[in-house]
Amino acid sequence: MKGKVPVGEDGHRNWYYKGPNNDREWAWLSNRHTQIAQVLNTYFETGNPKYAQYIDLFLRDFIIKSMPYPAVKSRNSIWRGLEVAARAKVWSRVFYGLINTGHLSPATQLLMLSSLPDHAHYNRNFHGGNNWLTMEISALATVATNFPEYQQSDEWLAYSVQVMVESMKDQVYADGVQTELTSHYHNVSLRNFELFKDICDRANTPLSAYYNQTLKDMYSYIAHAVRPDGYRILNNDGDRGSDRTIILKGVSTFNQPDWEYIATNGTSGTLPTDGPSYFYPWAGHLISRSGYDSLAQWSFFDVGPWGSGHQHNDKLHLSVAAYGRDFLVDGGRFAYTGAIAEKFRPYARSSAAHNVLLIDGQGQDDGPLLAKAPVDESHYKITPEFDYASGSFNQFVGTEREASHQRAVMYVRGEFWVVVDNITTDRPRKIDALWHWHPNCTVEKDGSTVRTAHTYGNLAVTSVGERKFDVTLIEGQEEPTLQGWYSPEYNIYESNLVTNYHSTIKEDATLVWLLLPSANEIATPFATILQETEQHISLKIESNQTTWELTIPYSDSQLLEFRKSQ
């Protein structure tokens, strides 16, 4: 939302102004000073002195108004860690970019030099954890190395190295995934870990082999997880942004032509010797794909922990894309503060915004923040013909006594997904199975099958077996509860269609779903359950003159059976 910081009676801008919607995020973003970084770039491009003069007046006004430095941990509009860190980085560019131009006045120079130690003090003494720490500590190192004349610069840098390495050990799993388990903030942490390395390289301060290998592992994750269209996973708090440029930067840094092949859909680089699917055992993320071309089938299945921050209650969620389209999607994050957040934030974090089961109308409660060990190998398997992973969850909000959900996903490469939901319960339960469609999908219902109706690129979701469902399509619902909303980016949202398969079970039950993608119109496949036991379910699927007989275990990959005939 656009707005203008007003000028108060004292002649200074009101840097605590929260924008036209009284949104504290608006004030925080304003006080990071990315706007003057843009003005600085424009000055470099044009040479027009009015841009440099604007920056001079802007900084002079801000620094005077921000005094005195409170020297306490704060969440106010000016003195909060992220804003302090961002300003320290921007100001360093401004100071050295304008110092010899004659447009940065001596008064502003002195004000900046007097305020930067306050910024360093804040980031040294009041920094947070997780991705906040990477941003704040990299800012401390920025001040220490760009202004070595400060008496404490050497101590600041030494502290930065110690804390950043320890944070990396705490914040990044052994498989290279940042513990918040959101692709968006994984990239935030990676960017700041990498910035810190650049700072240390310029200061001739070497970092450990562990640090450098972890940077490579973090790049490896986003390279292997990226969608065929170059966009990242939309999970937990994050935006559906493109990772292609980021991956190609990693290609250049670490000389990984296989990442280049994935990011460019095979137009350059080298075909990976592994893949095309990958499982990250500490994160609990299964990335399945049919290949690396732009029209490849792709899915993301989450069997990991809740996450150390920015969590959604979405364990066992499945996202699906194919033929250049998103089909089944995560709801997104909507906003953190302001009117959009007040309306949509609880929905965004809830199970109801994800492709999971609700039990007795209730979603998942909070899970464990961190994985204590990687997912056991019995819970996943990747072969040339198929991928498999399984996970479980048993803490549902307000649910009495025993209710547990085990979900297994089997992807038959290049053909289809089978999702098996095994529910154990001590009493009758109402079950809602949710499938959220991308807003661009045209969806129609045909009995227990819901499919898209596009000229090119389609997906059908079919319930397999004799269980009866009340199948409803919901879009943009506000009462009695929110349902059918999608947010691809922060503060942006629209309605989307959700398929709700509702049923009542009297005892333990198994629900089976066939997800069938097709380039063109989808022919209804023949799928039947051959056998159901306490450990697995066996299916027969016939499609396009091919027959598959699959035994899919609820949890133990050793029981998997795969037979294909034509």
pLDDT for position 189? 92
Is 141 inside any structural domain?
no
Boundary (domain end) residue, out of 209, 243, 272? 272
Closest C-alpha among 138, 168, 144 to residue 157: 144
* Helix (H) or strand (E) segment spanning residue 164: helix 153-171
232 and 315 inside one domain: no
Is 131 inside any structural domain?
no
CB of 425 within 8 A of CB of 508? Answer: yes
Amino acid making up residue 407: R
Is 138 inside any structural domain?
no
Q: How far apart are CA 509 and CA 532, in angstroms?
A: 10
255 and 366 inside one domain: no
The series of mean pLDDT values per 10 residues for the chain, 566 residues long, is 84 91 89 96 97 97 95 94 96 96 96 97 92 90 96 95 93 96 95 92 92 97 98 96 97 97 98 96 98 98 96 98 98 93 97 97 95 96 98 90 93 97 95 98 94 96 95 97 97 97 96 96 87 95 92 95 94
Gap between the terminal Cα atoms of the chain: 58
Is 133 inside any structural domain?
no
114 and 232 inside one domain: no
pLDDT for position 474? 98
49 and 194 inside one domain: no
pLDDT for position 23? 85
Is 252 inside any structural domain?
yes
251 and 281 inside one domain: no
Closest C-alpha among 271, 186, 200, 165 to residue 235: 186
Boundary (domain end) residue, out of 126, 141, 169? 126
- Domain range for 5 is 1-126
pLDDT for position 554? 96
Is 136 inside any structural domain?
no
428 and 464 inside one domain: yes
Number of domains within the chain: 3
Q: How far apart are CA 82 and CA 73, in angstroms?
A: 12
292 and 230 inside one domain: no
246 and 291 inside one domain: no
Closest C-alpha among 279, 237, 281, 274 to residue 259: 274
370 and 473 inside one domain: yes
Is 149 inside any structural domain?
no
Q: How far apart are CA 22 and CA 7, in angstroms?
A: 16
542 and 467 inside one domain: yes
Q: Rounded to 5 degrees, what are φ and ψ at 177?
A: -100, 130
310 and 258 inside one domain: no
Boundary (domain end) residue, out of 126, 144, 168? 126
Is 142 inside any structural domain?
no
pLDDT for position 544? 81
340 and 440 inside one domain: yes
pLDDT for position 1? 62
Per-residue tokens: 422: 């095994």
Give the CATH number, domain containing residue 477: 2.70.98.70
